[in-house]
Amino acid sequence: MAKDIKISIRNLYKIFGPNPEVALEYVRRGMGKAELLEQQKHVLGLRDINVDIHDGEITVIMGLSGSGKSTLIRHLNRLIDPTAGEIHVDGEDVMSYTGEQLRQLRRERMSMVFQKFALLPHKTVLENAGMAKDIRGYTTSDFEADARKWLARVGLEGNEHQYPHQLSGGMQQRVGIARALVSDAPIMLMDEAFSALDPLIRSDMQDLLLELQGELQKTIVFITHDLDEALKLADHLVILKDGEVVQQGDPQEILLNPGDPYIVDFISDINRARVLRVRSVMSPPDDGDSEFAGDISEKDNLESVLLKSEGDMSLNFRVLRDNKHVGTLHMKDLARALVPTAASADRSKNAA
C-alpha cells in the first residue's frame, strides 16, 4: 500500500507569545514546555513535527486537550502560520504561497469539517452545503444538483430547505460533511468533527465516514481525543503529547508495540479484542497440514473470531483476502495478543 505522499510536514514548530523567534532558540536547545512557559512566558504549541500524510488514507492525529492537535491541523491550510518548518502539499511549499494561491488551495484542494459545525445560520441547508462552490462564484442553480446529491448521500434528503437551527447536532454535522464533499477537494481536514455528538450518533457518523471513504478515497486528516475513534478510523495514527509526536504508524502496530509509557497508559483501557484485527496477529499461510475450523477475513476483529471459536483455544482459522488464502490464525496467538502490555498491567494492579 505504498501510496503517494499528499502532505508532508517537516520540522514544524509553533510557539505562541510576543516573541516566538527568541523562544524558538530555547526550544531548539531543548527547553521543555513547562520551563518555556515559566521562564520565557511563551507557550509551546508544536515541537519538531514530522508527519507524512498519504494520498487516499485516513490519518488520525490523536492527543488529549492541549496536545496541539487542533493547532497542527490548522497549519495544513495555514489558518495558523508556523514559527518554523515546512509544509508541502502535492510537493508544493505552502509556506511560499501568496494570498491568492493560498485561497486557491483552501477553495479547491482542501475542505474542512469543524467540531462546532460552523454552518451559516442564515442560509438553508442546501446553501450551506454549496458554500464552497458559492465562494468560487457559482450560483445556486449551478451547484444545486451536486449539493442535493451529497446531502442525500449523508442522509439529509428532504431537509434541503430547512435552516441549521432546525436540525439536531448530528444532522448539522452531516451538513458539515456534505459541505466538505460538495467542494470536491481531494483533502478533507476534520477537526474533532464528531466530538460534540453523543456516542450513538458518533458511531453512526464514523460508519458513514468509513463508507464514504471506501467510495471516494479522499485524503482525510482527522483530529480526535478519543482513542476508540482513532483506532476505528485510522490508516495511519499519529499520537501527540505536549506538542510532540510520541509515536506514529499503523494503529495495530502501535497497539501491539507501544513505544512510550504514555501510550501504554492510553491503550490500557481499550477493548483490544474489538480493535485488533486478524491481519495483525496472523501467521503466514501453513502448508496445508493444519485443520481449519473456518474461514475469516483479514479485516475481521479478534472479537468476532472469539465469537466464532466459542472460546476453544486449540482451533486454527484460515485467513482470506479477496478469497485468497493469505495466512493462518492460531487461537493461541490471538490469546497472546490480547494480553495487555506489562506496564499497563502494573498500572491496573496499582489502581486496584
Partner 1 sequence: MATYDSLFSTLGLEDWCSEGQSDGPMSMADLLAKTKGSDVEEPSIWELPFPSMDALNESCAAFPQSRELTKGLEQGFLAVKDSLSLVLDPLTQPLSWFLDGALYAILNTPWWIVIPVLLAVVYLVSKSGKLVAFVGASIALLAFIDHYDYAMQTLAIIFVCAFLCVLLGVPIGIAMARSNTLQRMITPVLDMLQTLPPFVYLIPLIFLFSVTESKLYGIAIILYAIVPVIRLTNLGIRLVDKDVIEAADAFGMTPRQKLYKVQIPLALPNIMAGVNQTIMMSLAMVVIASLVSAPGLGVLVLRGIRNLELGVGLVSGLGIVILAVILDRVTKASLARINVSQKQ
State which of positions 48-87 bind partner 1 (CB under 8 A): 77, 79
> Binding of partner 1 at residue 106 (CB under 8 A)?
yes
> What is the Cα–Cα distance from 12 to 48, expressed in whole angstroms?
5
Nearest to partner 1 of 113, 151 (CB atom): 113
Report which of 309, 113, 111 is spatially closest to residue 192, judged by C-alpha positions: 113
121 counts as binding partner 1 under rule CB under 8 A = yes
Report the nearest approach of partner 1 to the CB of residue 176 (Å). 9
Q: By CB under 8 A, is residue 349 in contact with partner 1? A: no
Q: Is 11 in the site for partner 1 (CB under 8 A)?
A: no
Q: Which is nearer to partner 1, 11 or 166 (CB)?
A: 166
Contact 289, 264 (CB under 8 A): no
Distance CA 348, CA 343 (A): 9
Applying the rule CB under 8 A, the residues between 182 and 201 that interact with partner 1 are 183, 189
- Select from 44-52, 131-139, 153-161, 242-250 the region that touches partner 1 (CB under 8 A): 131-139
- CA-CA distance, 175 to 123, in Å (whole number)? 12
- Beta-bridge partners for 190: 113, 222
Phi and psi at residue 101, in whole multiples of 5°?
-65, -40
132 part of the interface to partner 1, by CB under 8 A? yes
Residue (99 or 311) nearer to partner 1, CB: 99
Q: What is the DSSP string of 137-159?
A: T--HHHHHHHHHHHHHHTT-TT-
Binding piece for partner 1, criterion CB under 8 A, among 119-127, 222-230, 245-253, 340-348: 119-127
For position 131 contacting partner 1 by CB under 8 A, the verdict is yes
d(CA 58, CA 90) in angstroms, rounded, equals: 16
Q: Are 317 and 296 in contact (CB under 8 A)?
A: yes
Q: How far apart are the first and last CA of the chain?
A: 43
Select the residue interacting with partner 1 from 61, 110, 208, 306 (CB under 8 A): 110
Q: Does 18 bind partner 1 (CB under 8 A)?
A: no
Residues in touch with partner 1 (CB under 8 A): 77, 79, 102-108, 110-112, 114, 116-122, 131-132, 134-135, 163, 165, 183, 189
